[in-house]
Structure 1
Amino acid sequence: MARLAVLVDAVPTDVEVGVHLCYGDAGEKHFFEPTDAGTLVRYANAVVAASARELSWLHLPVPIARDDAEYFAPLASLAPVAELYLGLVHREDGAEGAQRRIAAASAVVPVFGVATECGIGRAPEGTTEGILRTHAEVAAAW
């Protein structure tokens, strides 16, 4: 956390700085499946506390199978950030799945942006256009 805070503080103040937290994966499968967003919240809060400057944005991943209140409950104790993005858009279940995750997250954090879980740079060949369309559909509806 201290190393990440040093990097956040190294970004010039006239440049936005944000952090994407990740569970890590191999072959598009998490190294482990989180029980809830608690570890993400604790880590994010520690980085925010250790940084001299505010984050412009924070991105937290949301596993595809998590559209339950228990997963999102720890977000209630997330330190304030200028913009929060939840990575709840997945190509496997499209806008319908994202809407379920949005509904569950909204009960805890009413204001957030939507994003893909972990970017699209490592997506399988031929899937980029589809996930971009899905992301646009979800964002327009949200």
Structure 2
Amino acid sequence: MIVIMRHGQAEGYASADHLRNLTPKGRMQAEATAEQLKSVGIERIVHSPYVRARQTAEEVNKTMSLPMTQSDDITPEGNAHLVASWLETQDNVLVVTHMPFVGELAMALTSGKQPVSFSTGVAAIYEKSTQGELKLAQVVEPNI
């Protein structure tokens, strides 16, 4: 199982894009999504180095208490096909990232067959089929 999530709502402005913090609503989105994800079997969290993605991962992790790692490959400018290839060798991981990368990654994981609308705080759960392909199993929205 692979779960990909867009960070929660972030401030509109900062001295640099990668320094934008989550808003209070963004923190609540992350918490609400985490509550829905806590029983799906995630074993670790990988997040972008951008502040808002790290903060989202930290908020999610308050519910799950899992190992967290940072990946410079999952920024907005990341290579979705490269990351999708890596994720196909992983299991039970949550990836916290950004638009447009999160949408590109979802398309790369499913060969363009299952697009998802990633509003802030939304997560998509992908399960491996018997043929080894990843299929969209569920979309989780923060509902706050």
Say yes or no: TM over 0.5.
no
* TM-score computed with the length of structure 1 as normaliser: 0.28
* TM-score computed with the length of structure 2 as normaliser: 0.28
Report the structure number with the largest CA radius of gyration: 1
Q: Identify the structure with the greater helix proportion.
A: 1
Q: Which has the higher contact order (CA 8 A, sep 6+)?
A: 2
